[in-house]
Structure 1
Amino acid sequence: IVHASNVTGTVQPIEAIAAASADHPALLLVDGAQTVGHWPVDVQQLGCDLLAAPGHKGLLGPTGTSFLYAAPQALEKLQPLRWGGTGTASDSDEPPRDAPAAYEAGNANVPGLLGLGAGIAYVAERSVKRIAAEAMSRVQELLAGLEDLSHVVVYGASIDDPQRVGVVSFNVQGFDPQEVAVLLDQMAGIQVRAGFHCAPRMHDALQTAELGGTVRVSFGPFNQTADVRRLLEVLSELGSA
């Protein structure tokens, strides 16, 4: 289950879900792609069995990097999908049986891991709580400004909901989402993503599938209030186009 929606930014109540499913034999795997590095994450508090996250998003690492957290009870049930050497215990015919080596057959992506380590160090120094608070400020600034634009339809949680990450989805009436993305790029150099965001079922629920999905703004640790103001200016101009 996703920790936070990559369409609306809503953070899911993983603790409650974990408690409700505690007696079920299935493992609870949390997709932390939208929260790790963006939002304080404590796997002990969440109570999940597994949590996976990419390195290239909130952790600011290179593409092709990721990690999987596995609780002790999960490791007892998991089996490696790929067997092979890891550069350790090379005098044995048997591959390593202990975690994490048992799940890391082959050569490690050393350049990628070094880059990921640098990204994690920056995020840790900056503080995830601070990054989350700053992203929430950008979200509130954007949502407050969008309230004054009657031609823009916003989807997801309200401006007062603290359980969200720095993601906002909307549509501009009279424009296809892809068209809005191109115009934002051409008019102001603003990069957004348009379409279904690899979450077609969410767009069915939001009733945005027939509209071509949504325009999604994702705030990172380097966005400032000036970026939000410029975005609102361009969206306002589109309303009078």
Structure 2
Amino acid sequence: MGPLGTGVLYVRPGVEERVDSFRQGGTGTRSEEDVQPDGLPDKYEAGNLNVPGIVGLGAGIEWLLGQGVERLRSQTVAHTELLLARLTAVPGATIYGPESAGERVGLVSFSVAGIEPQELAAILDSAYGIQVRAGLHCAPLMHAALGTLEQGGTARLSFGPFNTPDEIERAADAIGEIASVAKAGEREYTASGDM
């Protein structure tokens, strides 16, 4: 809920001696020295701080707290349950990960028999206006363990607090339509989503 590339590192007091910085230089407080200062926070703050990112992250956290973390989590679980139920009913669809929506974040990895994940993602985007991520998701060893490496990984559909159940239903309908066409061996889609 903030700009990409911004995060928070919490270091328990007394542990900072064992946690080295991965980047050195340009603290602005001791620029004449060749090494990074040992004191906090300078030890971990090389170069210019990402002030817009920090402000954006703070605003995102304030928004989350204002909405209620438990309420947002309940919504995410409900959306995940809906998507899992709908995808389970799609012939040829395989869902990866825990069966329980309560053990997931707002993300479902899946594949559809007869169609590579990248092609599935491209069709969802071009024919239905639905964007998903497809591929190995920076985890090739996990895909090797799942047996999805050779097929190019999985498709991954995620949602957040602004998504609606209707959008999840529409995505599941689209995946079902694509799965039925893939099963029939057809590959013709139009930009409107009609096949």
The TM-score range, normalised by the shorter chain, is: 0.7 to 0.9
Give yes or no for the alignment of 1:219 onto 2:159: yes
Please report how far the alpha carbon of residue 168 of structure 1 lies from its aligned counterpart in structure 2 after TM superposition: 0.6
Over the matched positions of the two proteins, sequence identity in percent amounts to 47
Paired residues in the alignment total: 180
CA RMSD of aligned residues (A): 2.1
Flag the 1:80–1:144 CA change in 2: closer, same or farther, 3 A: closer
Task: Give the Cα–Cα distance (whole angstroms) in 1 for the partners of residues 150 and 89 of structure 2.
Answer: 25
Counterparts of 1:147-166 in structure 2, within 5 Å, are 147-158=88-99, 160=100, 162-166=102-106
Report how far residue 97 of structure 1 moved. 2.8
Q: CA deviation at 1:218?
A: 1.1
2:84 corresponding residue in structure 1: 143
Alpha-carbon separation, structure 2, partners of 1:161 and 1:230? 19
* 1:186–1:85 distance in 2 versus 1, CA, 3 Å: closer
- The gaps in structure 2 that reach 5 residues or longer are 182-195
Q: Is 2:26 the counterpart of 1:71?
A: no
| Distance in 2 separating the partners of 1:83 and 1:147 | 50
For residue 125 of structure 2, what is the amino acid of its counterpart?
D
- 1:139-173 deviation line (CA, Å, top 9, x unaligned): 10011112221221111111x35222111111111
Cα separation, 1, equivalents of 2:69 and 2:30:
37
Q: Determine if contact 2:95/2:110 at 8 Å carries over to the other structure.
A: yes
- Shift in Å at residue 219 of structure 1? 1.5
Please give the alpha-carbon distance, in whole angstroms, between the structure 1 residues aligned to 2:20 and 2:30: 19
* Distance in 2, Cα, partners of 1:153 & 1:171: 5
> Partners of 1:225 and 1:127 in 2: how far apart?
19
Whether the aligned pair in 2 keeps the contact of 1:145 and 1:232 (CA below 8 Å) is yes
1:173 aligned residue (92, 113, 131): 113
Q: Secondary structure at the match of 2:155?
A: strand
TM-score between both structures, scaled by the size of structure 2 = 0.83
Query: Aligned match of 2:67 in 98, 123, 126?
Result: 126
Contact 1:86/1:106 (8 A) holds in 2 = yes
Counterpart residue number, 1:86: 27
Distance 1:146 1:212 in 2: 20
CA distance in 1, matches of 2:24, 2:178: 55
8 Å contact from structure 1 (residues 187, 234) kept in 2? no
